[in-house]
Amino acid sequence: MLALATPLKTRLQALPQLTGWAVRVGTELADRRPVPAADVRCSGASVADSRTGAAMVAPEWTVTLVVRRSDTAADELDAAFAAVFASLHAWQPGQVAGRGWEPLTLQRVTEPLFADEGLAGCELVFSTSARYLSGNT
Amino acid sequence: MTLAPFAALESRLNSAVQRRLANATATHQGGEHFGVLLSREGQQPWGGDTVDAAQVTLGMPAAQVAGIAEGGELVINGTTTYVVTGPVQPDETGWLTLAVYPKA
């Protein structure tokens, strides 16, 4: 499930709209001070179908976009939001670590946060799913 | 004798705190320098170690920044301009603590 972090990061890093952005995943050790930034992390999973010997696991991947508060912050976030959506919504990771993943779909967007620390941002939550087999019947 | 002796003491105390504990200077709208209590600590506004940010606050008697509002600016130590974010509400003694962030 967490193996999707690297392909997601790679895909976002390739976006021209995120040139100059720090793109990082939740599981790596990184300097998390630079902004603008796009943080990618798994924020849990639901199990859509769990039966003897198999389960359909649907992880959620949250992309947090953060920029400095300024007169142009809303436009920067808007452009990044559109680029991330276009890149990830309906994108199929395919085989990752030996498991076939369904296309990602955007599930929700959080209320933009304007933090006292001089930052502004919002989160896009995507979901995908794959079948896990246990080997026990 | 004043009718509000404790208010006078509070005002004197605020002045003393500013005079003795100020660790930075500020100017507002190009006025005179005055002492401020600058506090800085790490914060993670989105939680979960998403972003490593600094929360900076400035404390001072409200009378020294009369008319300041969210979006207003203070120059600290003559070098860095900070922008006011959040509420601008002094406490009952007239002491004002402002959340600020460095202007890009």
Q: What is the pLDDT of residues A88-123, one digit of tens each?
A: 999 999 899 889 999 999 999 999 998 888 999 999
pLDDT score recorded for residue A137: 65
CATH of the domain at A112: 3.30.2000.10
Question: Model-level pTM?
Answer: 0.88
Name the residue of chain B whose CA is nearest to A72's CA.
Answer: B104
Please give the helix or strand (H or E) that residue A109 lies within, else none.
strand A105-109
**pLDDT of A52:** 81
Asked if A102 and A130 touch (Cβ cutoff 8 Å), the reply is yes
Number of domains in chain A: 1
Contact flag B85-A116 (C-beta cutoff 8 Å):
yes
Specify the pLDDT at position B86.
84
* Angstrom distance (rounded) from CA A116 to CA A103: 36
Q: What is the DSSP string of B1-59?
A: --S-HHHHHHHHHHHHHHHHH--EEEESTT---EEEEEEEEEE-TTSTTS--EEEEEEE
Residue ranges of domains in chain B, CATH in brackets: 5-102 (2.40.10)
State yes or no: pLDDT of B2 exceeds 80.
Answer: no
B80 touches chain A (CB under 8 A): no
How far is the alpha carbon of A122 from chain B, nearest alpha carbon, in Å?
9
Task: Convert the pLDDT of each residue in A13-62 to its tens digit.
Answer: 999 999 999 999 999 999 999 999 999 999 999 998 888 889 999 999 99
Q: Give the pair of three-digit tokens for residue A97.
A: 């670590």
How would residue A70 be classed by pLDDT, with cut points 50, 70 and 90? confident
Q: Which run of H or E residues covers position B83? A: strand B80-85
**Is the confidence at residue B47, as pLDDT, over 90?**
no
